Structure formats: structure tokens, C-alpha cells
Structure 1
């Protein structure tokens, strides 16, 4: 018998409809169901402008471990007590831990809340820690969710971990650009974040409803699915009640407003500049880096977290290399890390066990493991399998994940072309501006700094001794110094000597002279100051207190500016000399004359005078504003400098690397300038991280004191990407690349008059000077007879161009008639061409790169032919055991003896030894007749204050005496101990 179909249960359907209507009405009227749960008890123990400090379960003793929980800016402090039994504070309390919560309130309802910045939050957390320590006598375990965890990291770094027993974070990104939310590419997000920070959030704030909407839009599929599930179960109150507190928190109650300045600073410092990784972020005027965190760290990672992606969270293991870093993986998304059943069963019990373990009251939690440093640089951090495994993978969601990972793959394949395109965006405008400069164009150092101040007055410019000076502050200081200079009688065009250490005051003085239209004559403290003053035609010197005595000894008019010791600050006038302390001049009382015009410098005007030596004689090196601009714009373009860079300015300003390729390029790139009082391994390692240094400038052997020091240790994940400068010995160059494998060396070369500017932009040829920078003067190597000292003329009557591998004379095409200060030849390679003669010898390789062979005057003229100094220094500096090299000639031209003085490295207290075979192999690439006749191991080679090895003292001593530390070149080009007089053998004299 066939059964009849079952009739629908009409009564049950009606009950379901009525229940849905009744429950829906309650949700509409009250925002949700009354679950009957009560929040955990707490008392507010301190109320300050930025926060209220809650102590939960106030009736219990505080002799156990203390933990303070930090919420994100946009989430209510109640996030740690959303559910009755599974809330964070309740679980922690049940484990004998006293929970404290920082409540920032909602900025839109707090006095001054909408003016809060990021630093205010960090300082507030630090203040709360002090209050808890004062009240309990115990160090504090500091924990934070999402951005609250970022606050925790920043606070620990700000305090150098003082008073912090351990750090615990939940889904808190550190290497933000490694894995942005939703797998978005950094090259798209960073420009947008920068625009929002500079143009939007400095004027607007984010209300709570917008913060909620933004969070939900991160995962719209999950949000929609949750709402559909809620509506489908609306008839079943009992089924909805367990998750009702959580739903109401996410849908309505859990969100607070963001203040605009805080959001802007968050975007600028930790997205655009990614300074959680690089260091150098500013909190309350102090420079901070996560490398100074020393307390243990536990980071909870959501395996399906699209906001705090695993790769971004794991950046802490690189950013805090000194700390012991652990992780605990949780199979949830971002919000599920701290709220919900998984948080109640995994996150908070594990947190409690961690706190007890760190307090010596338990074992290491089973769900905690050491975080690995072997991170996948190509992954987004959230795999498709994680989404599907943990219930987040509807077809739409999985499809989105596949798309993102495919986009990541395509992005990886196109990384090179994208980098080239990005570089073009930065460099093309600079090069176009450089190419448009004419003799009457207004351009100068002062004008460039004025332009930067208009663009970003509040951005940091100088970093020095843990102090931070903004563009606005520096600009105001420059204007004040200009007023002081005017009061002291300095006018446009006057030559003023500058004898100062590389400190902010020195950079301000040089910029102030430029703004006034005067000429800065850069003096070297270890140089011939009277001769420099004569050649520079200056009778006024500006100095700092430390150089006051040296300046007053050589001139009658001295202006003193900048700080110094109390003794150095004692300004006095004696013997008819005029000494003026410019710090005593009130700029507001100075009457500015009608002739003053701000930043009047034209491209053709003389801006600076540096000094160089030609043929052993001191010679002035005049630098016009155009020459300065060529070097500054060219170097900034070659180095790819932007406002995301912090440049460690180590060279003295009187050296071209300090003035042109460091100060000039940094100003053009609108980068931050970090200065240091000393150069040693410990200071270097500390300041690189504290300042967030991305580019290091150098001269000659300066970095030897760092990389060859036995005390040198630096985090392998340091932010340095580039070294820029000139004169680095090739052996040291190779060691720098070995010690900083993620960085490259950008070596510059400029002729004394600045007509030719070369750079090894590719950085793949150690020792090469590269090629001429774009938009600077084209260069050519002319065939040159070194013995006769004249150019080689071909059959057509023009100068022959040197072939590949042939040493010739570097010449720069003369395009700017208004500033040529050297010999200019016409009709050189073709009719009507004009070329400036550099006086420097170069060799061009098959790729068109240039290699330096010294100046014409420096060639050692032996009986067997010319011997070039740079190739010898290049070869010997790479010999194992050799530290420094200085090569010089002894005797009359045509009979000179080439001597290479070398120092050896030390292993502990003992110097390394050199062997004959090592010397021969090291010099093997040179023809025998171009090797040094004598190699002399000396105890020390003196260096200038720009760290250039000096051979003059050895040259004055003549030939070294025979001994165990001297080798001579035999007839076969090998080396033997120079233990007897071998001159009679005729092989080197």
C-alpha cells in the first residue's frame, strides 16, 4: 500500500513565525537579546587625560603575577570581557593572575581626544605600567590585541623593557609591508597610505561606525554569512544566546572613534615607512627601535587572520633579535584570537600558562613554540588551505584567496620591472629639473630646504643624540642664524670660513649662508687653515666651541655657534681679535635690511669652496649652485633616495661626500638626516637601529673602524639598503658587502671642479667608478701619452678616444659656459666640441664602466715606465691579512721607486703575517713592471679627518731600510725579503 505524503506541521510553522517576530522585535528594540550575563567586576584605580586604568576583581590580593591588557585604538576596552566565562579577564583571574585593562575611552567624547596622536597612546601605556608597579611592587606582563599589541611593542622599546616581565600580542603585525591585509601589494598601498596620512587624516577623524564598517569590509563574505546565519536562527533564541554577547560587540558596542592625528601617524610611521622593522620611529621626542626589547615575547598568530597576517606578525623575530621570541598558532581569524570559544579554550588559557611559566610558577605551555627566523618572503601568510580547514572558505572566499595568491605570484615574476617603474617615477622629475637649470635659475641648498619645509613642515629632518628636529624647527633655526649673520655684518657674496664638526649646527650654518647668498668656505681642522683662508679669500670664520681656539689662532674675526662643553663655551676676545657668541644674539631684535632677499642664489653663483690637492699643493675647489645641484640631484637619483630613507651622515662637510653626495642628495630626496658624534662599532650598531638608518654615507676607509672591529655585532635584519660615498678601498668594499648582504655600495667620483660626476650605480663591480650620472656632463676617455704628458692625436688631427683597457685622460663635455673654472679644449673629438680637462686617468672596460688610475701628477715614473697607484692599492687591499695600504713614489721622475706601505690586521693581540705567495697572488693581475718595487709593513698609516690614508710622511722618509718587514720585487715580478741592498741588481732602480 502506497503511503501518503506527510502533512506539514502547521502549528510548528506558526510557532516558528511567532518566535521569529518576537525575537526580531526584541533585537530591534534593545539591539539584541538579554543574555543575563554580567561583566566582570572592576574598579578604576586611576583616571588621567589619556586613559582610565581598570583593575579587575578588586577584592582579590595582588601578590601574584600582574598583566595589563591594551586594546586597539578603534576597539572598546570591553573586548577583554565580552563573554562571562570565556572572557580574557575571567580566565586570567581563575589562574591566579591579576588583570588590569587600559581604557582609552572614545576620543570623540574625551577632552582633546580628537587631537591624540600615536605617541600619546604609547606614553599612556608606559604611565600605566609605572602605576601598576608602584601599586604592587611587581613587574608587569604587557599584552595587547591587534594595534594594542603594536602599542605594547612600542612601549617596551620606549622603556627599553624596564618593568616589563614579558610581552604578549594577539594578531599584531610588525613587518607590515611583508603581508598587508587581504594580500594587497605594498606598491599600491604605500602611496595611498601616504596620501591619506598627509591629506586626509590630518584634517579628519574616523567615527566608531566607520571603524566597524571598515573591519567588516575586510572580510565581507564572512560578515554577510554571519548575518544570514543569525536571521535563519532568529526563531531559536537558545541557539543564539551563546554567541549573542560576541555578536552585539562586533555589530554595535565594540567600536570607538579614531583620532585623525593618531591614524595619520600610524599610516606614516608603520605602513609607509614600516618603522616597526627598521627602527627610528619617534615617541614623545625620543627615537625608538624594537631591537632594544630584551624581555621574552609570545605572539599569537591567527592561521586564517587576514588583518594581522602571519608573515607580518612573525616580523618580530627579526625586529627584536635580542629577545627570546615564541609563538602560538590559533586556527581562527583576527577577531577570534581574543573573543569566542577558541579564544576561551586556547588563547587565554595559554596566555595564563605563559605568564605563570615566566613567573617561575609553571612549565612551558604545550601550545607555545619558539618562533623561527626562517620566514617565507614570498607568502602572504594565510594559505587557502587554512581558510578552508577553519571554515572560512566558501567558494567566493576561496576564489578570492586563489586570486590573491595568483596576484602575488604574478607580482613576484614582475618584481624587477615594477622596481624599475617605481625608480623612474622618483628619478625622472629630478633629472628633468636638473636638465632645466640655466645660469639664471634660482636654486641653492637654502632654497631646496625651504621647499621641503613647505611640503612637510612637521616631518622629521635631523636625528642626533636621540633628539629629533623637524623641518619646521630646522627652518626656523636657519632663519635665526641668518639674522645673526646679518647682525654680524655678513652680506651676500661674502666668503665665510666654516670650521665645525658634522653636527646639526654645522648643517644649519651651511644652509644659512646659502639662504643669505654668502659663500661657505669649508675648512678641514687637520688641514693648513691659514692657506685655506688665503685661497678662500675669507677673513671671517664660523666655528663651534670645540674649534674656537684653532679658528681664533688664524683669523681676527670669529663667530661661534652651537653647543659644547662648559669650558669650550667660554667665549673670550684677546689680542685685538673679535669673537662673537652668536647664541647670545636675539634674532627678534635684529633689524633685517631692505637688501635681504631669501634664498637669492642663482645657478651660476658661487655657493661653496672646498679644497683639494693637485701636485702636492692645496688648491681651491669652487662649487657653484649648479655644480651643487648636479651632484645633489644626480646622487639622489642614483641612490633612489625618498622621504622613506634615513641617511646616516658620517663624512665631514668639507669633503665632497659630506657636502654633495650626503647633505645635498639627502635634501633633494627629502630624507631624514642622522648624525653621530663618533664612529665606532658599538655606536654604529646602536644608532643604525635607533635611527632606522637605511643609507650610510662614508669616505675612504671610514667604515674600517666598524666592520673590522672585533666588537662589531649587528642584527642581520638591519634596515641598511645602501652605502654611498667615495674612495672606499676594494678590500673593505668586499667586506662591507659580506657583512651587509642585503645592501649594496654606491661609489661616486667627481672631478675637482665638479665637471664630471661618475657613479657605480649597479654596484656589481667592486672598485669601479661606473659611468656618468644621467643629466650630468657626458664624459669621454681621451688617449693620453703619460710619459710625454700630452694627448694622442690621430691622422685626422682630432684627439683619439682611448680603446677598451687603455689608460687615458678623463674629459667632460663642457655644456655650461657660465661656470667653467678649468682648462677647456675645443675641437677635441669633432669640430666645435668643447671638453673640460680633468687631469685624472681612467680605463674603460668592455661594458663602458670606468676604472680610476689616479691623477696625472700621481703617476710614479720608473725606469720601466709608468706605475699607477690605484691598481696597486686595489690589489693589495684584497690580500688576506692586509688592513690599510698607501702607495707613494721616491726619487726623481723617470727613476722613481714605487713603495707600498701596508698595515696588517690583528688577531687578538697579534698581527697577522704576510707571505710571499699571498703578495704575488694578490698582485698577479698587474703586469710585473706595474707592481710596487718595495712592500713595507708599517705599524700604522695615518689618515686624514675624512679617513683618507696619507703617504706623505712615508715619502718624506725616503726608501725603507732593509729588514724583515720589507719585500722587494725581483726580476720575475715576485717578492723576496729585502734583507740587503738590491739596488745594484737594476731591477727596481
Structure 2
């Protein structure tokens, strides 16, 4: 029978047990258990890691590169060899996160991942990064160091086992697995298994934090908090627990309430102590900064262009099967972010296995023991073709993953402020009203004003004597963001600091061979890093870069530009010598030997030691002024070569204007498809990217077949084009498994409206930004509205004032009105665009004086525009391309755009054919696919064109030829003469304005209805 003292005795016993256990916890940090860790061998040591092999049956005598020192604290340090098991066990390499120790795979016997996988027939290996604060150089580790370490371990385990490897990673360790697999292009990998590893941290942030807040925090963390310090292990543990404070508090209360019951606590004690701090290690500052920059701010796992050392990779390079284990209640590895692997790795079969667990419960605890590890073992068996696919695992298609766009531009006030400082914008006279104007304009652009204001302010402050140049902006970027990628080429990354150093070395080489400030030096090179460096080096030196196109007319071009020295790549050196100029060869590296058949006068700049060059006293780097001539381009629009002169100011105008209008940031990657000898390549694509601090993806040339692949690999967000270049792209069939597009913007000049529409259909959510920029006129027009395809938009701030003036359609002379001043064109009335430059005008540029008041100076562009009621400008065509017919001028671009609005039309071109007294306006169209075009279609499309400005004849061709720059070749079409009669040719009825079938050949003389 129980006595009255039994409750008191029970309470006393409980209190005593509580005190004893509490003392043990305070003394040792937790309760002592009799659990032993799973046995393992340290089979390889490197400065970055130690490689553990768990439950190995034998050990050899020799280690693999035993270069490390220190001890893991347990395991067999002496057994450093690798011998393959007698049983053919599939090897699986497990990767921990940076801030959690490798023991996460073996926290306790009941929940040990390595023990469970070994029992299931696997051969488990674990990467141990150690504790960085205890390793030599550990706090200097970068994200690249971890990814390369994982790749090296794959090689080690593959060599030891003689077969491909399964790769598994928890949380950030899973991100390492994805990155390493992309880095290796899935070489020697059987499969990847990740546990709560997000791919999209921005659109699916922990705890549902808004994307802009996540990016703001990442900027602060990268730029201020961990730029010069690391994260200690105790703080990592605290931060991990604070991510779910309610659960943490409940666990602590539950532990205290059961502290008297030792047996009840022992089963979870190892797990509790692990989370309480024993399982966490320090996190190096450089690795944190790298993760914030690439994974969060730039979102490189989603958009591609992830930098590993000097390589650029994309998760689209993963081709092996992927299993993403996700926690349905995981607040850290949010399921939406984990699933995104399917949308960025279209070449891989991606599967998911959802578990009702939190982040830690995926790999440790009863749920992991009962669900995670048995399913993973069955998955590996299925991949190894020794079992069926486990229940609960489902395949995820790339297009089935929902979520916000990974490339949404996040504009930050802090980032804008830093850009102000980075661009060195000071308080100077007149800055106040310039700032107001810039902010007003950027509000009109529809995005945060502070982001664009620094560029517009700087542009507005430029005067003739202002020091500004292409090389100077690169030097500024090298100081402000030295480790950021400047350009990407052939899967390699070239940082701003490396590019800047290379430019300086090339300058020394040029000085050594006699190039001086102000000299005109030709550049004849294929698109490659050396070409960009050469142009920048000439800019830094103060010489003029004459951009030579690869042409049979090289001798003529050299004579036209008075060039005697040409910097060439090895492929063009002999052509330069044959043309009579001195070839200065650059490219291929200092160890390269020139081919023996090159002329003896060739100078190899790579063999000049820059350190041995004594700089002359006159040399001042980046001393170019805004009014100085910087570049010379060549055009051939009229059949004869012409030079186009570009000053530093005009380059800056295009560069900063592009960066502002295109909203370019450090997170942008600009795909430069035009060569540097084309103005759009150097002024818009490269110039805009450098002005915006963006990455430049250099291309050897536009190849529609590899376009999407390169876009994914480089993480391209902005694509440049000229004229109908993108027409070849939209003609390509879409891949069966298409990853989401990272492109947010196409920018260029001259895209036909039909191509514009198809680009929008193929890449939903993108924009087309049309520019109009003159090489010799200080004007940049930009179409910032997506609702007006074909418009050239409005002038950007800091550029010249523009007006439209009426001109005689035959002579092109400016029509004058009262007082002899020019008559301005009314709304929706054609007129020639004239510009009033802010700075001085080169003597070589044609000028008009006294147009609107005595003594004023204007520069004619010789391009005909209309201006609509909203103030947007529409290009109708160059003045010399206008077809002057009996019924009035026909404007080629206006007609071609109207015809291009037909879904059945691929491309349209308008040209004139000489008639008896006047020209006959002919429009040619090509079909889109097998579509049928009728006369009614033609008449309907041209109803938007004024009756007198419609073409006389419209006919269908199988294809329309284009020039080297993808512009419809109207000259080649005009040479064919008038089209023949037939079912696919129509003539304009002057009475009705409609189009009827052309039934017989057109005779000389005016076109009338009886000739139909």
C-alpha cells in the first residue's frame, strides 16, 4: 500500500535527478551518452578538406596526397589509403554546408545517414571542410574553393572505386553539388541528391521575406558586415536557431521539463547538442560575400553565369539525374526555391521527394531515419538499375515550376548611393538643375530614379575639356569592383582588375614600338579579349583606334584613314603586311611563337616585357578629353567606304545613355553579338555594359543554333542586335525541354515590327529597347515604352536638343518660312531630324546655321522621322533611301513596318526602281512559314500608311537578302528591276488605294489601273 510520503519521495527524486542532470549539462554541455559514432577512415587530406570513408572493410598502406595536418578528433588517422570494397557498393559522396560540420551525416546511431546508407548497400564518403577558424588560411576560403574541392573529391572517389559517383548535399552543401556538377558538366556523376537545397534564394527567401528586402540585406552583408570579417561558429548556431525562434523556444522548454528524466532525453541528446552549437563551425568572410553576390544579389544559380575561379558555368550544364528532397514545412530551404532546379537544368531528369519535415529534420531525426534514407537508398538502386523507382518520388518538368521571375531588377537606394560615390560625381556648378532634370527624366522612364541619376548627372556635366574615355571608365570599375567579371569569353571569366592590368601592359608595348598620343592606329581583329583590350589600350594612351572591318578593301581603308600601324591578331597579320602597313600582333599569350611564314616586319607585342619599358614623360594614363577624337568607324551604305568619327563625348553619350535606358547594373550580363568594328558593338553593347558596371558576354558571332545555350551559360540578361538579326533566332525550332529564359531585354536598332512581335512570343516577359544614335550627332533616342513597337522613342537627358524640319522631298533642302527660318514639322508629319549639340562640332561634320535664330548651329542627321502626339519619334528612313514617285515620297521603314505587322509576313523591304520619269516604289515581302498572303492582306496592312506614301507594287519572294549587319538589302533587290506579273504580285489601284493582282508586265510610264 502506498504511504502518505510517496508523493514527497517522488518529488524529491525528481528534483534530485533534475539537479544532477542540470549539473552534468552545465559541466559538459549536455548529457553523456554511450553512443559511438560510425567508424570511418581519413583517406585523403587537402588544405581545403579531409575525405572520410565510412564503414570501409579494409585500408591500404599509402594515402592519396597526404598533405594536410591536424586531426578530426576521431576516426583512424593512420589508415590513409583507399582500397575498394570487395562488394560492388555504389559510392555516394556527401557534402555538408559551410557552417555545419561534417558530423551532420552521423549525428547519432539511430539517425545516422552514413550508417543507414551503408546498411542499404551504399559506399558512403563524406567531405569534411573542418573548422575554418582552426585551419591555415581557412578564413580566406571562397565559394570557388568549396566547389573545386567537391569536384576534386569526385575525381578521388572515382579513381578509388573505378566508377561514377552519386553526389549528395544538405542545404548549402547541395548547392555546392549543383555548382560542382555544372563545373564538371556532369562528368563521372551518376546522380545528384540534395536535401533542402534552394536554387532560387531571391524569389523564395527563407521565412517569406520579400525579394527586395533579401537583396537589400545581402548588399549590406556583402559590402559592410563580412567584407573584412568572418562568421564565428557560435553566431552561426544562434542564427540558425533564430530562423525558427518558436520551435527553438519550444525545444528548450521541452528539454527543461524533461531534464529529470534522463532516459527520455538520451535518445535525442546528440541531436540537441549538435543544434545547440557543437555542430556549427565558422564561416569565412570571402565565402559569405561570394555567396551574397552570386547566389542572392545576382541570382546566378537561376540566371546562369556562375563564376567558379576563372570559369563561367550554368546549372543548365547538369545532365545527370537529380533528386531534390524537400521539406514541406521547411522555412529555410523553401520548397518553391528547391523545385527551381527543374527550370534551370532542362537537360537533366529532375525528381522530387517531399517530406513532412523542417530543414534539419530532412537529414536528422526520426523522419529522416524512416523516410529519407530508405528512399534515397532505393533511388540510388533505381539509378543503378537494381530496383524500381521508390514510391513518393515524382518527376518535375522544367515548365511546371511556378514562381516569380529570377531576373527581376531590384533597385536599391543604397546601391544608387554607392554608384554616385563610385562614379566620382562631385558637387560642381550647375549640378542642382542637372540633378532635377535627371530625376524627372528617370521618373518618366518608369524605374527608380536614384539608380539612373548618377549616370545622367555625369553625362550632363561633361564639357569639352572633361576627362572621360573608354579606358578611364574601365579603370574606375577596376578600382570600385576589381573582382567582378568584366567580360566572359569561351567560358572564361576576365575580371575588371585583370582586364585593367592587361590594358596597362599593352599600353607599354605600344609605347615601346613608337605609338604616341594622337596617333591613328588600326585595329583588325576577330572578336576576342585581345581586341577589346587593344581598343581600351589605345584609349588609355590617347591614340585613336581605327576599327577596320575584315574586308578585301583593306588597302583602300588604310589609305582612307591614313593608318600605317595596325594591331592585328595572328590570323590577320599577313593581310596587314600585304596591304602595306606595319602589323603589331597581339593575342595568343606570351608563350606563342608567330608562324614562320609571316613577313619579317611583323612586331609581336606579346614578346615585349612591359616591366622593361620606360614610360616617356609625356604619358598620362586616361588623359583623353571629351572633345578628343577616340574612334574611327567605316560604313558603306552608299556603295563607297566612308569614315565615321567618334569623340570620347559621343562614346560616353551612347554608353551612359544605354546604361540608363537599359537599366544596366552589376547584376546584368550584356550579350555583345556585334563585332567591335561595328558602332553598335563598341558604343552601345560594350559601352553600355562598362558604364553600367555590367558583365560583357563576348561572342565570336551570332549563331542561332547555340544562342540559347550561351545565354544560359553566361547568364545573359540583355541581348544586343542590329536590324533583323533576331529574325534568324525566331526561325529556329524551340527545344523540347526549354529552360526558363534569363533574358529581360533585347536592345539595338532597326528591329522590324514583325520580328519584334515574334521575339515577344518566344521570350515572354522580355522587352525590346530600340535606340537611335548617331555616330556624328550628339543624340540618343530610346523607346522606353513596350506599347509602341517600332518607335525610336525620345531623346535621353544629356544629349542634344532635337527638332524636325520640313525638307524638299526631291532636293532634300530645308524648307524655309517667314524670316528665312526653317519650318518645323507638325505632329505626324515627316521631317528631317536635326540636332543642336551641347559641345563643339568637329570640322568634318556638316553643319546648318541660322535655322531658328541668328547664329545657331544644328547638325542634320539626314534621317526622316515623324513625331506623334506623345512626343515619340518614328524613323521613316534615311533621306537617300526615300523613293520619290509620281504620287509623292514613299518612306521605306514606314511601309516595311506596316507590312511586317501581318502575321503571314517574315520580312519586308522597300526600294525604288527607275521609271520613265520618276521612280517606281516596290515592296517585297517573304512569307512566314507556309502562310498565304493575299492582296486583301496587303491592302489592309498598308491602310495605316498615307495613300500617297504607299508602294506602287508589292510582291512575294522566297527570301529577302540581308547585308552583313542583317539589314534588308534593298540595293540587291533594286538591281533585279521591276517584278514580273503573277499570282503573288499586286499593283496599287490609284482610285481605291487597294491592291489587285498584277496580271501583266509594267510598261514604262506612270502606273495606271488599266495596266493591271
Indicate whether the TM-score tops 0.5: yes
Q: 1:946 aligns with which of 957, 961, 965?
A: 965
- Aligned residue for 1:102, secondary structure, equals strand
Return the offset for 1:843.
Answer: 0.8
Q: Distance in 1 between matches of 2:359 and 2:228?
A: 29
Quick one: distance in 1 between partners of 2:715 and 2:295?
A: 12
Give the Å deviation of 1:794: 4.8
Aligned to 1:169: 194
1:926 to partner: Cα distance? 2.5
- CA distance in structure 2 between the partners assigned to 1:611 and 1:631 by the alignment: 18
Distance 2:387 2:576 in 1: 67
Do the aligned residues in 1 keep the contact of 2:565 with 2:584 (CA within 8 Å)? Answer: yes
Give the gaps of 5 or more residues in structure 1.
1-5, 381-416
Deviation at 1:46, TM superposition (A): 2.3
Higher mean displacement: 201-210 or 463-472: 201-210
TM-score of the superposition, structure 2-length normalised?
A: 0.88
Give SS of 1:85's match.
helix
Give the C-alpha shift of residue 175 in structure 1. Answer: 0.8
> Could you tell me which residue of structure 1 aligns to residue 437 of structure 2?
none
* Residues 1:637 and 1:985: Cα distance change in structure 2 (over 3 Å): closer
- Per the alignment, in what secondary structure is the counterpart of residue 857 of structure 1? helix
Question: Does residue 221 of the first structure (1) align with residue 252 of the second (2)?
Answer: no
Match of 1:10 in 2: 8
Show the counterpart of 2:873. Answer: 850
Alignment root-mean-square deviation, CA:
3.0
In the alignment, is residue 377 of structure 1 matched against residue 400 of structure 2?
no
- Aligned residue number for residue 802 of structure 2: 779
Match of 1:343 among 363, 368, 373: 368
Does residue 481 in structure 1 map to residue 481 in structure 2?
no
Q: What is the alpha-carbon distance in structure 2 between the residues aligned to residue 503 and residue 885 of structure 1? A: 34
TM-superposed CA distance for 1:564, in Å, is 11
| 1:450 positional shift | 0.6
> Does the C-alpha gap of structure 1 residues 655 and 894 become closer, same or farther in structure 2, counting only changes over 3 Å?
farther
1:923 is the counterpart of 2:923: no
Q: Does structure 1 retain, via aligned residues, the 8 Å contact 2:347–2:737?
A: no
Quote the offset at 1:238 in angstroms: 1.7
Report the equivalent of 1:293: 318
Gap change, CA 1:135 and 1:578, over 3 Å in 2: closer
Structure 2 CA distance, aligned partners of 1:968 and 1:978?
9
Contact 1:861 1:894 in 2 (8 A): no
Q: Do the aligned partners of 1:747 and 1:760 also contact (CA within 8 Å) in 2? A: yes
The size of the alignment, in residue pairs, is: 942
Map Cα deviations across residues 401-425 of structure 1 (whole Å, 9 max, x no partner).
Answer: xxxxxxxxxxxxxxxx999896322
Matched residue of 1:514: which SS? Answer: helix
**2:893 matched residue in structure 1:** 870
Deviations along 1:513-569, one digit per CA (max 9) or x if unpaired, are: 110111112222248544543443433322223333443343433322224999995
For each residue in 1:613-651, what CA deviation from the matched residue of structure 2 results, as whole angstroms up to 9, or x when unmatched? 576654332211111111111110000001111111111
Q: Is the 8 A contact 1:545 1:568 kept in 2?
A: no
Name the SS of the counterpart of 1:205 in structure 2: coil
**Counterpart of 1:986?**
1007
- Does the CA contact (< 8 Å) of 1:681 and 1:713 recur in 2? no
Report if the CA contact (8 A) 2:901-2:941 is conserved.
yes
Distance 1:799 1:97, change over 3 A: same
Q: Tell whether the 8 Å contact from 2:573 to 2:598 is kept in structure 1 after alignment.
A: no
Residue in 2 that maps onto 1:933: 952
Q: Counterparts in 2 of 1:655-694, with a 5 A limit?
A: 655-694=678-717
In the TM superposition, residue 571 of structure 1 has moved relative to its aligned partner by: 6.8
Which residue is 1:393 aligned to? none
Residue in structure 2 matched with residue 45 of structure 1 by the alignment:
43
In the other structure, the counterpart of 2:235 is: 210
Q: Residues of 2 paired with 1:222 and 1:557: CA distance?
A: 75
Partner of residue 562, structure 1: 587
Query: Do residues 812 (structure 1) and 835 (structure 2) align?
Result: yes
Partner of 1:536: 561
Partner of 2:654: 631
2:487 is the counterpart of 1:462: yes
Q: Flag the 1:894–1:511 CA change in 2: closer, same or farther, 3 A.
A: farther
Task: Provide the rounded CA distance (Å) in 1 between the counterparts of 2:445 and 2:947.
Answer: 44
Q: Does the 8 Å CA contact 2:952/2:1007 hold for their aligned counterparts?
A: no
Higher mean alpha-carbon deviation, 68-77 vs 543-552, is at 543-552
Tell me the distance in 1 between the aligned counterparts of 2:448 and 2:146. Answer: 36
Match of 2:610 among 581, 587, 591: 587
Q: Within 1, Cα distance between the matches of 2:221 and 2:825?
A: 54
Relative distance call for 1:894 and 1:789 in structure 2 (3 A) is farther
For 1:378 and 1:292, the matched residues in 2 are separated by 22
Q: By how many angstroms is 1:594 displaced?
A: 0.8
Q: CA deviation at 1:8?
A: 9.5
* Conserved 8 A contact 2:222-2:293: yes
Contact kept in structure 2, 1:779 and 1:813, CA below 8 Å: yes
Residue 51 of structure 2 aligns to a residue whose secondary structure is strand
- The residue number in structure 2 matching 1:233 is 258
Mapped partners of 1:491, 1:919: distance in 2: 59
1-side partners of 2:402 and 2:592: how far apart? 56
Write the distance in 2 (CA, Å) between the matches of 1:963 and 1:493: 60
1:682-761 equivalences under 5 Å are 682-710=705-733, 715-761=738-784
Map of 1:56-67 to 2, 5 A cutoff? 56-59=54-57, 61-67=86-92
Q: Is the 8 A contact 1:814 1:824 kept in 2?
A: no
Say which is worse superposed, 889-898 or 750-759, in terms of deviation: 889-898
- Residues 304-355 of structure 1 deviation map (CA, whole Å, 9 limit, x = unaligned): 2221111211111111122222222222221111111122222222222222
Q: How does 1:491-510 map to 2 (within 5 A)?
A: 491-510=516-535
Moved more, 867-876 or 833-842: 833-842
Deviation, 1:609, is 1.9
2:61 alignment counterpart: none
- CA deviation digits over 1:635-692, x for unaligned, max 9? 1000000111111111122322111111111100111111122322232121111111
Q: Residue 983 of structure 1: CA displacement? A: 3.8
Q: Does 1:889 align with 2:912?
A: yes
CA distance in 2, matches of 1:172, 1:573: 55
- Alignment match, 2:572: 547
- CA-to-aligned-CA distance 1:824-876 (integer Å, 9 cap, x gap): 44554567765432221111122221110112222111111111111122233
CA spacing shift, 1:699–1:378, aligned 2, 3 Å? closer
Deviates more, 1:577-586 or 1:87-96: 577-586
1:621 is aligned to 2:644: yes
Structure 2 alignment gaps of length 5 or more: 58-84, 407-441
- 1:859 maps to 882
2:331 maps to what in 1?
306
Q: By how many angstroms is 1:75 displaced?
A: 0.8
> Do structure 1's residue 315 and structure 2's residue 334 form an aligned pair?
no
- Map residues 117-516 of structure 1 onto 2, 5 A cutoff: 117-371=142-396, 373-377=399-403, 423-516=448-541
Secondary structure of the residue aligned to 1:144 is strand
Q: Is the 8 A contact 1:546 1:564 kept in 2?
A: no
> Residue 747 of structure 1: CA displacement?
1.0
| C-alpha separation in 2, matches of 1:642 and 1:240 | 53
Q: Is contact 1:880-1:918 (8 Å) kept?
A: no
Task: Tell me by how many angstroms 1:113 deviates.
Answer: 2.1
Contact 1:681 1:712 (8 Å CA) reproduced: no
Q: Which residue of 1 aligns with 2:134?
A: 109
| 2: CA distance, partners of 1:718 / 1:378 | 12
Task: Report SS of the residue matched to 2:866.
Answer: strand
CA shift at 1:776, angstroms? 1.6
| TM-superposed deviation, 1:578 | 4.4
* 8 Å CA contact retained: 2:186, 2:319: yes
Structure 2: distance between partners of 1:22 and 1:804? 92
Helix, strand or coil at the partner of 2:523: strand
> Structure 1 residues 190, 66: CA separation in 2 closer, same or farther (over 3 Å shift)?
same
CA contact (8 A) 1:516 1:599 kept: yes
1:729, distance to aligned residue in structure 2 (A): 1.9
- Please, which moves more after superposition, 417-426 or 857-866? 417-426
In 2, are the aligned partners of 1:83 and 1:246 still within 8 Å (CA)?
yes
Q: Which deviates further from its counterpart, 796-805 or 169-178?
A: 796-805
Q: Is the 8 A contact 2:171 2:194 kept in 1?
A: yes
Report how far residue 228 of structure 1 moved: 2.2
- The secondary structure found in structure 1 opposite 2:706 is helix
C-alpha distance in 2, partners of 1:358/1:93?
17
